[in-house]
């Protein structure tokens, strides 16, 4: 009698590691392991080992994957306030979505708030390209006022 050895499928989604799942979610194929690793600061060999499941991802690598997925630039002093604004918006979105899930009437308000935040941020980005620095502070203040008002509304429910 001969023994039959089963070889697990590499592309099995149940066994797919987080790095491969992240690559797939962004449209990287299996031949782009080095490229995917490079965008988060991995060497080609380290990316290959991670892709094959020979090592676990570090917290730093997972954070880099999240930042790349969210289309964030690496932190610098120049873009720190922008990243802080994105963080505040994400926190508010989380709060609004949690509150909206508990109260169906709050869901419409959460959607309106989210849309207003997106419009404000888009306006800010557009104005940064064409306006002097002084006007940017006014836009920042308007966004902060909107965030505070929305946060107070969320905490009042």
Q: pLDDT tens digit string along 100-111? A: 555 556 667 766
Domains of the chain: which residue ranges? 18-69, 80-155
The answer to whether 124 touches 84, Cβ cutoff 8 Å, is no
Residue 4, CA distances (Å) to 8, 9, 12, 20, 95 in order: 13, 15, 20, 29, 54
> CA gyration radius for the chain?
22
Which residues, including other chains, have CB under 8 Å from residue 64's CB and lie 6 or more apart?
40, 41
- Determine the pLDDT at residue 110: 67
Average pLDDT over all residues of the chain? 75
Q: Any idea what DSSP says for residue 131?
A: S
- Determine the pLDDT at residue 27: 94
CA atoms within 13 A on the CB side of 33: 17
**pTM > 0.85:** no
- For the chain, the first-to-last Cα distance in angstroms comes to 71
Q: Which residue has the higher pLDDT, 110 or 35?
A: 35
- Determine the pLDDT at residue 44: 96
- Kindly report, residue by residue over 44-102, the tens digit of the pLDDT: 999 999 999 999 999 999 999 999 998 888 889 988 888 888 887 778 777 766 765 55
Q: Any idea what DSSP says for residue 7?
A: -
């Amino acid at each position: 009698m001969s023994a039959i050895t089963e070889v697990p499928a590499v592309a099995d989604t149940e066994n797919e590691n987080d790095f491969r799942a992240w690559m797939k979610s962004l449209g990287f194929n299996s031949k782009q392991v080095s490229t995917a690793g490079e965008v988060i600061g991995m060497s080609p060999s380290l990316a290959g080992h991670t892709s094959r499941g020979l090592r676990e991802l570090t917290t730093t690598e997972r954070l880099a994957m999240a930042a790349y997925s969210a289309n964030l630039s690496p932190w610098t002093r120049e873009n720190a306030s922008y990243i802080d604004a994105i963080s505040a918006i994400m926190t508010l979105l989380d709060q609004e979505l949690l509150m909206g899930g508990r109260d169906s009437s709050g869901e419409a308000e959460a959607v309106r708030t989210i849309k207003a935040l997106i419009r404000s941020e888009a306006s800010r980005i557009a104005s940064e390209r064409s306006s002097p620095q002084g006007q940017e502070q006014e836009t920042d203040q308007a966004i902060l006022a909107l965030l505070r008002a929305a946060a107070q509304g969320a905490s009042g429910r």
